[in-house]
Amino acid sequence: MENNSSSSSSPQSPTTFTTDREQATWTILAAIGIVPVAIAGVVFGFVLILAVGGNLNARHLSLGALLTAQLFGYLFLAPYVLFVLRALWRGSFAQLGFTWPSLRQIGVALLGAVVMIIVVTLLGQLVQTILHVHHEQQAVQIFRSIHNPRLALYFALVVTVAAPITEELTFRVFIFNAARRFMPLWGSAVVSGALFAVAHQDPFLMIPLAAGGIILCYVYVRTGNAWMSMITHACFNGFTLAVLFIAPKSAF
């Protein structure tokens, strides 16, 4: 299958993801497996926290405990996706975009973050206007409630480091590349973006986050570097937190 990218530096279309029925079946099963693996990580995190905490009440866990459980979800999911890629992808990881970035690629990633901030924010406001509601993402509500600087830093690290790395591995490097083997580039971006939005479990932000996921696909394809969509994603999340930190009462 030919490369659908408009850039010579973009990741090659995954020609080594063969289209035979057995390979397609394993790819689908691996994609489905993302959900139970992530849940298993979160459950393991909760069990570990309760075991270490002794008499902690499972119904009244602290925010730090909840963040740790979420972090374990990421810690389970990232190795799983890397294992799946190693099993299904018959090329090198460099072909998937795990290479040292150039200044041009970093520039594209930063520009992508600006575009993502604008598009997601405007679409979010449009959805709220149409539905006549005022809605904030759960992560934003949580951050507003944090008053402990150490906890705020912990939250920021999870949101700007663990989440972008794991989610980009999952939705761009794996799902997007696998979909590119069976459908056009734009269709693969829509699939990746839609699943990215669904994973955030926020019906009010489905359209804005799906658009954000498509932008992340573009950054990945345009740069040919998996680290760049991670940087774009991290900058987007970091900008949101920075706005909330500087202006806690802002309507973001």
Q: Tell which wins on pLDDT, 115 or 87.
A: 115
Q: Locate tokens 């009462």: which residue?
A: 249
Whether the Cβ atoms of residue 113 and residue 236 lie closer than 8 Å to each other: yes
pLDDT in tens, 192-227: 999 999 999 999 999 999 999 999 999 999 999 999
Residue 130: C-alpha distances to residues 119, 120, 126, 137, 204 (Å): 16, 15, 6, 17, 11
Residue 71, both tokens: 């972090």
What is the four-CA torsion angle of 46, 49, 55, 58, rounded to 10 degrees? -20
pLDDT in tens, 42-94: 999 999 988 887 655 655 568 888 899 999 999 999 999 999 999 888 888 99
pLDDT in tens, 235-244: 999 999 998 8
Within 13 A of 132's CA, how many CA atoms are on the CB side?
A: 0
Distance between CA 117 and CA 144 in Å, rounded?
19
Distance between CA 80 and CA 46 in Å, rounded?
19
